[in-house]
Chains A and B, each alone.
Chain A
């Protein structure tokens, strides 16, 4: 079946702009995770959804970051007033049940200029 998909694959934006990153998980997976990965580092947890609700958003770095999953499937990560330090690869993963094997999307490479 179809895996996790993410769009766009690449996004270049200017400092201060607003961006939205989309994740389409594997059908039927209730758990959805967002991560951020910088060069030479492992993925850094941002937020975890169980169904429609954000079960844990403790990894979001500040209030410029927000994510939603209104129907328990597709999720959108939103970043306001982007900064150069936000440049990274944003990865989405889904699993069912939570904490079991996670399936990752190809990521969105965000570059803030």
Chain B
């Protein structure tokens, strides 16, 4: 099993839709988790940090399920500008080395 797994998509949704992505991880010792957004040919930018059970920021909600070892990202009321690749990051337990998933592509259409 890969350390961090994401469905590459793409997820095609209409504007206004709610969409959710999952990210599974293998290292049960990991304590902090991150979602980054990456636009085409740009660098990743931090979207949300998850240190406990979850985090919410406007239309975006991240949730952590330690028992099943996955984190999810929920986007409500999707905008065209949400079209991007969403990268899940799980630091290796006990170290400072972040492992990135391959990303999930989201396309929001009119």
Tell me whether A104 and B98 are in contact (CB under 8 A): no
> By the criterion of a CB under 8 Å from any partner CB, how many residues of chain A are at the interface?
26
Stretch at the interface among B13-21, B42-50, B57-65, B71-79: B42-50
- Which of B4, B34, B101 meets A101, CB within 8 Å? B34
The answer, yes or no, to whether A85 is at the interface (CB within 8 Å) is no
The answer, yes or no, to whether B66 is at the interface (CB within 8 Å) is no
Contacts of A44 in B (CB 8 A): 100
Contacts of A104 in B (CB 8 A): 43-45
0/1 string, A95-113, CB within 8 A of B gives 1? 0001111111111000000
The B-contacting residues of A in range 62-113, CB under 8 angstroms, are 91, 98-107
How far is B100's CA from A40's CA once the two chains are assembled, in angstroms?
12
Q: Using a CB–CB distance below 8 Å, which chain A residues touch chain B?
A: 31, 33, 35, 40-45, 48, 50, 55-56, 58-59, 91, 98-107
Q: Using a CB–CB distance below 8 Å, which chain B residues touch chain A?
A: 4, 6, 8, 32, 34, 42-46, 49, 87, 91, 95-103
- Sorted from nearest, which 7 A-B pairs have the closest CB atoms? A42-B100, A104-B43, A98-B96, A101-B46, A42-B102, A43-B100, A99-B96
Contacts A/B (CB < 8 Å), 5 sampled: A42-B100, A42-B101, A42-B103, A45-B100, A55-B96
